[in-house]
């Protein structure tokens, strides 16, 4: 480190003042201060000053850690050390934003298998171990040269490092990667804090899902706001840290594109800016990203081609994985084309070689060199607000840069030196001249031709020819031998074996090179053991083996992303067009009942006519002759768990009203498409049944190819999941889960009383505050906010329930606490208590015939739906199962068998009745003018076992069509074949990884944690 005294540098610009803080030398020195050169001048260099600006044959002058001058005509001070950089390229040091180098890993506080409900961290910290803004990487940073080396060799000079653990992770620290003491490499330039949805090493039960992580992060932020006001509170170091970091640059680490959109919702709620550490699939949400004013830190550890040499294995590779493999290298260039600010991270690589090969791959896939350089230098500096200090090679900035023996963005070059804060690290010597060529080598008066070829990266190989003259034929044979050629600066080592009539054995030569003259000379040992002199003289050229890396970019026009980018995705989203369906048997679900030869007209996403005397058709309408077919409104599934990311249950607490499935809707679930093929157009995505008060529902339309926000039904009524019975009391969770309250039905009742009592008190406190009777605003409590919505009839309850005792209990609790159960879902003993349900005003959403999967469903009978229906209860048949969800028409038909419902009423159990239960019947559930055009055309009576869906319309858009499905199937197969052959090409170039099969899992009511279940469904 160059500890120059600043007052000597009077010529400095004002920018340089920033640098004062960089190197004022905190450490006392033992003895005299270290001697250093005043100036270094790098002459005759090609300098990539900043993205887009390259100066050739230029001089760079630095003093200490500062860049003093740069240009073609720079007066070199007499006391400067001059470094001739002819043929070298100087590039600004890269800046890494997503790393944990030098920071120790977080450790779990808990051992053993029993659940941990409370935080084990001692001290005045936040109650949840996944929230630790107080962690400051600066306190943890231990420079580790070995760990830093790969980053340095990749060209990075700075890193913002942080402890990669938890949801609120704490502060990062910005360090120079040079080899110096901790004091010297750590800076105070940038303040940045880190966030994620990952719980990390915390073993605390809460949160157990991504929606829980989202709710927890939001609650923490509300708590921090509450903590900030000046009233007296207990000390909380976490919230203090949170507030101190509120305006820092914030990075949000994500594992998929959808997490970016999820985090952005939080950013908007709190008026904050998050920058995103991406996962490499951002090209799929490009439209959404352009609306976010954030920097995306892109990984470039592109997936390897799968090993597809075994066709049996190749069959198993999902098309989505293959398509992503093809598209991933385009990610940076697509982001760049759309003018989204982005950085590139080294994260995910092990060596500089890997990193550069991927960087060049991105360039070969359309990323410009300028954009690449920008993403590694200027953009990270800008995002951190330190572009006045670093990010380019400009006067006044920090002297951190790298010297290469060429332009590394264009070909495979060697990193010669890195300069960090003005200090040099030498990685390799630059060889200006090429030793490749043909030589005649003379050893002890014997001459042999020698050819040396470059194998790139400063490595060489040689071939030597020897002659043997046969004693019998006198014919001379030439034999070629491989020769080892090692060049270390100017020293050359040559080794080869000779077997002829004179020598037999190894020849080992050592010498110096004089490349200008094309001569090598030195001493060596011949097979006789004698030390001799040798020399070699260049006689000609050989062709180089070195390859030029950058090919001209040609976009593979077949590489396109679908909506969604997987099997059965659309090339482009189908449009909303006017349709007229004629000659159909229409199940209106209205007073008209089932009408023959009906016409249904769809315009602008709405049903504009259903009847037998059609008005004039809309202009340009497509007319669909449905003779012999049936047309109905779309199926609505009251109880579904498809299309959910990372956890259907927040099981960490008995009440988790604060979490919402709406935060984690997952549009890339193939089951959306499969259920469209079964006529489902809308679903309530319910939280699971792991706790008495679960989370909020998402009411969605099955808009295949859309984003989560587009799938959510506009202004949908608010719903929440409650649950009773075995799942809630963890009866079937194994012998460890016996700690969380409640473990009995008795406890379940008390959980409700407790929760709603707290909600009442919360509302009272808010009311008092609003009346001015309380000085400080009560802390925002997301859980109690939601329970209050229930008390205020602003949110409906759908309650998982089986046996009559608990059903009656909950109705008593509701009556006495002042709320109502909207729907009992599952409700398999509803037939025993239908009269009480009716009196309470609850509906029932049940299975057609499921039972015997656990003890509490022993009295479940398939006549349940009919019996509740007879008592005047609105009854729906639901799926709770991705498979059954695509044939709910068959399940509805079972109500005809069991109890004898009429077909019309049976059909309503999967259409109008769930619409009523979800309070969506003003816009869905029947074929009625003005309702949403969620329409299904069936090949036969939809209740028939033989009925198949011909077309499914959602909001007037055909999202499933049997004929198109056949085309999509074929297209999928062709696409897969194309990608397999492309992968085979890649395999032959050595690019392959074993296929990792994603075992299919599905969320059920009782699935715990972020992963889907492969267990049997116990609902």
Partner 1 sequence: MKIILTLIAISILGVSFAQEPTSVLITGGYLHIGNGESIVTGAVGVRDGKIVFAKNALTFTVDEGKWDTIIDVSGKHIYPGFIAPNSTLGLTEIDAVRATKDFDEVGIYNPHVRSQIAFNVESKVMSTVRTNGVLLSQATPRGGVISGTSSIMALDGWNWEDATISMDDGIHLNWPSSMQGGGWWAEPAPKKRNEHYNNRKQEIYDFFEMAKAYSNIRDHEEKDFRLEAMRECFKGDKRVYIHANELQELVDVIAFARELKLKFPVIVGGYDSHLITRQLVDAEIPVMVVRPHSLPENEEDDINHPYRLANLLHEGGVAFCIQNSGGMEAMNTRNLPFLAGTTMSFGLSTEEAIQSITLSPAEIMGIDDNYGSLEKGKSATLFVSDGDALDMRTNNMFLGMINGKFISTRNFQQELYEKYSKKYEK
CA distance 242 to 166: 14
> Could you tell me the smallest distance in angstroms from the CB atom of residue 109 to partner 1?
24
CA distance 325 to 392: 33
CA distance 927 to 914: 15
Q: Which residue, 672, 673, 675, is CA-closest to 643?
A: 672
Distance set, CA 699 to CA 818, 823, 916 (Å): 25, 15, 13
CA distance 197 to 263: 8
Q: Does 495 bind partner 1 (CB under 8 A)?
A: no
Question: Token digits for 433?
Answer: 């001249």
Name the residue nearer to partner 1 (CB basis): 459 or 997.
Answer: 997
**Three-state SS for 950?**
strand
Of 971-990, binders to partner 1 (CB under 8 A) are: 972-973, 976
Segment contacting partner 1 by CB under 8 A, of 30-38, 233-241, 815-823, 944-952: 944-952
Segment contacting partner 1 by CB under 8 A, of 8-16, 178-186, 670-678, 787-795: 670-678
CA distance 900 to 933: 30
Q: What is the CA radius of gyration of the chain?
A: 36
Name the residue nearer to partner 1 (CB basis): 51 or 667.
Answer: 667
List the one residue from 274, 831, 907, 953 that touches partner 1 (CB under 8 A). Answer: 831
Q: Which residue, 383, 415, 384, is CA-closest to 401?
A: 415
Segment contacting partner 1 by CB under 8 A, of 4-12, 305-313, 473-481, 773-781: 305-313
List the one residue from 946, 963, 989, 990 that touches partner 1 (CB under 8 A). Answer: 946
CB atoms within 10 A of CB 188: 10
List the one residue from 42, 252, 850, 907 that touches partner 1 (CB under 8 A). Answer: 850
> Could you tell me the smallest distance in angstroms from the CB atom of residue 860 to partner 1?
8
- Give the pairing of strands 342-345 and 296-299: parallel
DSSP element (H, E) containing 356: helix 352-364
Question: Token digits for 238?
Answer: 């976490």
- List of residues 6+ apart from 317 with CB closer than 8 A: 306, 308, 995, 997
Segment contacting partner 1 by CB under 8 A, of 545-553, 617-625, 911-919, 935-943: 935-943
> Could you tell me the smallest distance in angstroms from the CB atom of residue 911 to partner 1?
17
Name the residue nearer to partner 1 (CB basis): 480 or 1000.
Answer: 1000
List the one residue from 228, 350, 929, 998 that touches partner 1 (CB under 8 A). Answer: 998
* Number of residues located near partner 1, criterion CB under 8 A: 81
Q: Which residue, 257, 187, 134, is CA-closest to 21?
A: 187
Q: How far is CA 333 from the centre of its chain?
A: 18
List the one residue from 84, 229, 571, 1011 that touches partner 1 (CB under 8 A). Answer: 1011
List the one residue from 40, 325, 673, 756 that touches partner 1 (CB under 8 A). Answer: 673
What single-letter DSSP state applies at residue 616?
A: P
Segment contacting partner 1 by CB under 8 A, of 43-51, 165-173, 604-612, 970-978: 970-978
Q: How far is CA 330 from the centre of its chain?
A: 16
Could you tell me if 856 and 732 are in contact, meaning their C-beta atoms sit under 8 angstroms apart?
no
List the one residue from 491, 835, 922, 985 that touches partner 1 (CB under 8 A). Answer: 835
Axis-axis angle for helices 782-791, 745-770 (nearest 10): 90
Site string for partner 1, 500-539 (x = CB under 8 A): ----------------------------------------
Name the residue nearer to partner 1 (CB basis): 192 or 260.
Answer: 260
Could you tell me if 840 and 865 are in contact, meaning their C-beta atoms sit under 8 angstroms apart?
no
Of 361-380, binders to partner 1 (CB under 8 A) are: none
DSSP element (H, E) containing 70: strand 66-71
> Could you tell me the smallest distance in angstroms from the CB atom of residue 19 to partner 1?
45
Name the residue nearer to partner 1 (CB basis): 340 or 893.
Answer: 893
Of 601-620, binders to partner 1 (CB under 8 A) are: none
Site string for partner 1, 720-749 (x = CB under 8 A): ------x----xx-----------------
Could you tell me if 436 and 57 are in contact, meaning their C-beta atoms sit under 8 angstroms apart?
no
If you search the block for the tokens 């030029």, which residue do you land on?
Answer: 548
Segment contacting partner 1 by CB under 8 A, of 122-130, 400-408, 531-539, 938-946: 938-946
Name the residue nearer to partner 1 (CB basis): 602 or 670.
Answer: 670
- List of residues 6+ apart from 644 with CB closer than 8 A: 661, 664, 665, 666, 669, 685, 1003
> Could you tell me the smallest distance in angstroms from the CB atom of residue 895 to partner 1?
9
Q: Does 939 bind partner 1 (CB under 8 A)?
A: yes
> Could you tell me the smallest distance in angstroms from the CB atom of residue 716 to partner 1?
25
CA distance 209 to 199: 9
Cis status, amide bond into 564, omega within 30 of 0: yes
Name the residue nearer to partner 1 (CB basis): 309 or 470.
Answer: 309
| CA triple 292-295-297, angle to 5 deg | 130
Segment contacting partner 1 by CB under 8 A, of 177-185, 501-509, 708-716, 849-857: 849-857
Name the residue nearer to partner 1 (CB basis): 219 or 895.
Answer: 895
Of 861-920, binders to partner 1 (CB under 8 A) are: 861-863, 867, 870-871, 882-884, 887, 890, 893-894, 896-897, 899, 903, 906
DSSP letters for 311-345: HHHHHTS-HHHHHHHHHGGGHHHHHHHTT--EEEE
Could you tell me if 117 and 205 are in contact, meaning their C-beta atoms sit under 8 angstroms apart?
yes
DSSP letters for 795-846: EEEEEEE-SHHHHHHHHHHHHHHT----EEEE-TTHHHHHHHHHHHT-EEEE
Q: Does 997 bind partner 1 (CB under 8 A)?
A: yes
- Give the pairing of strands 504-514 and 491-499: antiparallel
CA distance 61 to 69: 5
| CA triple 147-150-152, angle to 5 deg | 100
List the one residue from 597, 622, 969, 988 that touches partner 1 (CB under 8 A). Answer: 969
Name the residue nearer to partner 1 (CB basis): 929 or 998.
Answer: 998
What single-letter DSSP state applies at residue 277?
A: E
List the one residue from 116, 236, 671, 798 that touches partner 1 (CB under 8 A). Answer: 671
Q: Does 996 bind partner 1 (CB under 8 A)?
A: yes
Question: Token digits for 492?
Answer: 């050359």
> Could you tell me the smallest distance in angstroms from the CB atom of residue 731 to partner 1?
8
Q: Does 1012 bind partner 1 (CB under 8 A)?
A: yes
List the one residue from 674, 729, 795, 800 that touches partner 1 (CB under 8 A). Answer: 674
Cis status, amide bond into 742, omega within 30 of 0: yes
> Could you tell me the smallest distance in angstroms from the CB atom of residue 220 to partner 1?
25
Of 139-178, binders to partner 1 (CB under 8 A) are: none
Q: How far is CA 612 from the centre of its chain?
A: 52
> Could you tell me the smallest distance in angstroms from the CB atom of residue 135 to partner 1?
25
Of 541-600, binders to partner 1 (CB under 8 A) are: 566-568
Of 306-325, binders to partner 1 (CB under 8 A) are: 310, 312-313, 315-316, 318-320
Distance set, CA 280 to CA 456, 800, 922, 933 (Å): 31, 39, 42, 37
Name the residue nearer to partner 1 (CB basis): 320 or 370.
Answer: 320
List the one residue from 44, 854, 919, 978 that touches partner 1 (CB under 8 A). Answer: 854
> Could you tell me the smallest distance in angstroms from the CB atom of residue 314 to partner 1?
11
Name the residue nearer to partner 1 (CB basis): 541 or 997.
Answer: 997
List the one residue from 335, 352, 581, 834 that touches partner 1 (CB under 8 A). Answer: 834
Site string for partner 1, 640-659 (x = CB under 8 A): -----xx-------------
């Amino acid at each position: 480190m160059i500890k120059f005294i600043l007052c000597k540098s009077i010529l400095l610009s004002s920018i340089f003042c920033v640098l004062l803080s960089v190197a004022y030398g905190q450490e006392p020195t033992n003895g005299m201060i270290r001697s250093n050169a005043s100036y270094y001048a790098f002459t005759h260099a090609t300098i990539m000053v900043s993205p887009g600006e390259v100066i050739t044959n230029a001089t760079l002058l630095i003093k200490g850690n500062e860049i003093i001058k740069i240009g073609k005509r720079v007066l070199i001070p007499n006391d400067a050390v001059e470094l001739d950089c002819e043929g070298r390229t100087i590039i600004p040091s890269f800046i890494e934003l997503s790393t944990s180098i030098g920071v120790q890993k977080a450790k779990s506080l808990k051992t053993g298998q029993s659940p941990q409900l409370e935080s084990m961290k001692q001290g005045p910290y936040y109650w949840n171990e996944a929230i630790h803004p107080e962690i400051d990487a600066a306190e943890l940073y231990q420079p580790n040269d070995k760990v830093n080396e790969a980053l340095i060799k990749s060209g990075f000079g700075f890193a913002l490092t942080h402890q990669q653990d938890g949801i609120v992770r704490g502060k990062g620290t910005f360090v120079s990667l040079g080899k110096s003491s901790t004091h010297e490499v750590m800076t105070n330039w940038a303040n940045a804090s880190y966030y994620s949805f990952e719980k990390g090493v915390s073993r605390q039960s809460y949160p157990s899902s991504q929606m829980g992580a989202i709710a927890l992060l939001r609650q923490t932020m509300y708590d921090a706001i509450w903590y900030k006001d000046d009233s007296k509170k207990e000390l909380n170091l976490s919230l203090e840290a949170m507030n101190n970091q509120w305006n820092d640059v914030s990075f949000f680490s994500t594992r998929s594109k959808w997490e970016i959109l999820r985090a952005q919702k939080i950013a908007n709620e709190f008026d904050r800016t998050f920058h995103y550490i991406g996962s490499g699939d951002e090209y799929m949400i490009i439209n959404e990203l352009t609306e976010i004013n954030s920097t995306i830190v892109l990984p470039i550890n592109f997936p390897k081609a799968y090993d597809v040499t075994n066709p049996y294995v190749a069959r198993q590779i999902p098309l989505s994985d293959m398509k992503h493999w093809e598209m991933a290298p385009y990610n940076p260039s697509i982001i760049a084309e759309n003018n989204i600010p982005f950085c590139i991270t080294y994260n995910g690589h092990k060596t500089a070689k890997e990193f550069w090969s991927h960087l060049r791959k991105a360039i070969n896939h359309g990323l410009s060199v300028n954009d690449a350089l920008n993403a590694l230098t200027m953009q990270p500096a800008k995002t951190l607000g330190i572009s006045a200090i670093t990010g380019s090679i400009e006067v006044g900035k920090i002297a951190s840069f790298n010297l290469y023996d060429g332009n590394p963005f264009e070909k495979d070059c060697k990193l010669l030196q890195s300069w960090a804060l003005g200090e040099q690290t030498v990685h390799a010597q630059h060889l200006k001249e090429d030793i490749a060529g043909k030589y005649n080598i003379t050893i002890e008066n014997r001459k042999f031709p020698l050819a040396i070829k470059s194998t790139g990266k400063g490595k060489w190989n040689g071939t030597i020819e020897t002659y043997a003259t046969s004693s019998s034929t006198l014919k001379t044979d030439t034999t070629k031998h491989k020769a080892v050629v090692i060049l270390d600066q100017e020293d050359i080592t040559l080794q080869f074996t000779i077997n002829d009539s004179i020598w037999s054995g190894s020849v080992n030569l050592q010498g110096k090179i004089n490349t200008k003259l094309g001569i090598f000379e030195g001493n060596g040992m011949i097979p006789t053991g004698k030390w001799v002199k040798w020399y070699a003289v260049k006689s000609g050229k050989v062709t180089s083996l070195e390859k030029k890396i950058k090919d001209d970019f040609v976009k593979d026009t077949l590489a396109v992303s679908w909506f969604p980018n997987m099997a059965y995705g659309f090339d482009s989203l189908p449009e909303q067009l006017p349709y007229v369906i004629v000659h159909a048997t229409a199940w209106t679900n209205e007073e008209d009942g089932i009408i023959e030869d009906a016409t249904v007209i769809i315009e602008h996403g709405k049903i504009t006519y259903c009847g037998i005397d059609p008005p004039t058709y809309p202009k340009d309408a497509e007319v669909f002759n449905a003779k012999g077919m049936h047309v109905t409104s779309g199926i609505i599934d009251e109880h579904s768990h498809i299309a959910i990311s990372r956890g259907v249950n927040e099981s960490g607490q008995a009440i988790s009203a604060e979490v919402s499935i709406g935060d984690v809707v997952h549009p890339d679930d193939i089951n959306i498409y499969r259920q469209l093929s079964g006529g489902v157009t809308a679903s309530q995505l319910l939280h699971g049944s792991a706790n008495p008060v679960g989370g909020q529902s998402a009411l969605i339309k099955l808009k295949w190819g859309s984003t989560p926000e587009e799938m959510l039904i506009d202004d949908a009524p608010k719903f929440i999941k409650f649950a009773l019975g075995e799942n809630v009391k963890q009866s079937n969770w194994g012998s460890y889960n016996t700690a969380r309250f409640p473990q009995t039905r008795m406890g379940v009742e008390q959980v409700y009383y407790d929760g709603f009592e707290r909600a009442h008190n919360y509302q009272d406190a808010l009311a008092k505050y609003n009346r001015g009777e309380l000085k400080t605003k009560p802390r925002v409590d997301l859980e109690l906010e939601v329970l209050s919505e229930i008390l205020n009839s602003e949110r409906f309850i759908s309650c998982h329930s089986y046996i009559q005792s608990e059903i009656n209990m909950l109705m008593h609790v509701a009556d006495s606490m002042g709320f109502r159960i909207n729907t009992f879902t599952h409700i398999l003993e509803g037939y025993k208590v239908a009269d009480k349900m009716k009196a309470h005003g609850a509906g029932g959403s049940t299975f057609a015939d499921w039972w015997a999967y656990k003890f509490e469903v022993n009295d479940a009978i398939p006549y349940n739906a009919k019996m509740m229906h007879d008592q005047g209860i609105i009854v729906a048949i639901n799926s709770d199962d991705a498979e059954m969800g695509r044939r709910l028409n068959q399940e509805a038909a079972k109500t005809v068998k069991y109890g004898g419902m009429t077909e019309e009423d049976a059909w309503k159990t999967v259409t109008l009745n769930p619409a009523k239960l979800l309070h969506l019947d003003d816009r869905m559930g029947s074929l009625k003018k003005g309702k949403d055009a969620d329409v299904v055309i069936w090949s036969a009576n939809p209740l028939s076992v033989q009925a198949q869906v011909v077309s499914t319309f959602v909001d007037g858009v055909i999202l499933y069509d049997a004929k198109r499905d056949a085309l999509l199937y074929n297209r999928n197969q062709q696409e897969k074949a194309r990608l397999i052959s492309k992968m085979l090409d890649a395999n032959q170039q050595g690019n392959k990884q074993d296929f990792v099969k994603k075992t299919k899992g599905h969320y059920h009511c009782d699935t715990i944690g972020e992963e889907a279940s492969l267990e049997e469904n116990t609902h």
